[in-house]
Structure 1
Amino acid sequence: MPAWDAYKEVARNRGALALELFAVESVPAGGPASVPENLEKHLAYQRELESKGTLVLAGPVSNAAGDMMEGAGLIIYRAASLAEARAIADADPMHASGARTYSLRRWLINEGSLTISVGLSTKTVSLS
Structure 2
Amino acid sequence: MIAWNNYKDEAKQRGSLAMEVYVIESRPSGDVDAVKQHLPAHLAYQAKLESSGQLMFAGPLSSDCGEWMEGTGMILYRAKSLGAATELAQQDPMHINGARSFTIRRWLINEGSLQIDIKLSEQKISLDPTQ
- Smaller-chain TM-score bracket: over 0.9
| TM superposition score normalised by structure 1 | 0.95
Normalised by the length of structure 2, the TM-score is 0.93
Q: Aligned pair count? A: 127
Deviations 1:67-95 (A, max 9, x none): 11111100000011111111000000000
The reply on whether 1:49 has 2:49 as its aligned counterpart is yes
**Alignment CA distance shift 1:102-1:5 (3 Å):** same
Match of 1:23 in 2: 23
Q: Distance between the aligned counterparts of 2:5 and 2:102, measured in 1?
A: 24
How far does the alpha carbon of each residue in 1:42-67 deviate from its partner, in whole angstroms, 9 at most, with x for none?
Answer: 00000000011000000011001111
Map of 1:58 onto structure 2: 58
Unpaired segments of 5 or more residues in structure 2? Answer: none
- The more displaced of 51-60 and 26-35 is 26-35
Matches within 5 A, 1:67-82: 67-82=67-82
Instruction: Extract unaligned runs of 5+ from structure 1.
Output: none
Deviations 1:4-50 (A, max 9, x none): 11000000000000000000000100422000100010000000000
What amino acid does structure 2 have at the position aligned with 1:21?
V
How far off its partner does 1:120 sit? 2.1
- Taking the aligned partners of 2:125 and 2:67, their CA distance within structure 1 comes to 29
CA contact 1:30–1:98 (8 Å) conserved in 2: no
| Contact kept in structure 2, 1:18 and 1:110, CA below 8 Å | yes
Which AA in structure 2 matches 1:95? H
Partner residue of 1:107?
107
RMSD across aligned positions (CA): 1.1
C-alpha distance in 2, partners of 1:80/1:117? 29
Q: CA–CA distance in 2 between the matches of 1:31 and 1:100?
A: 9
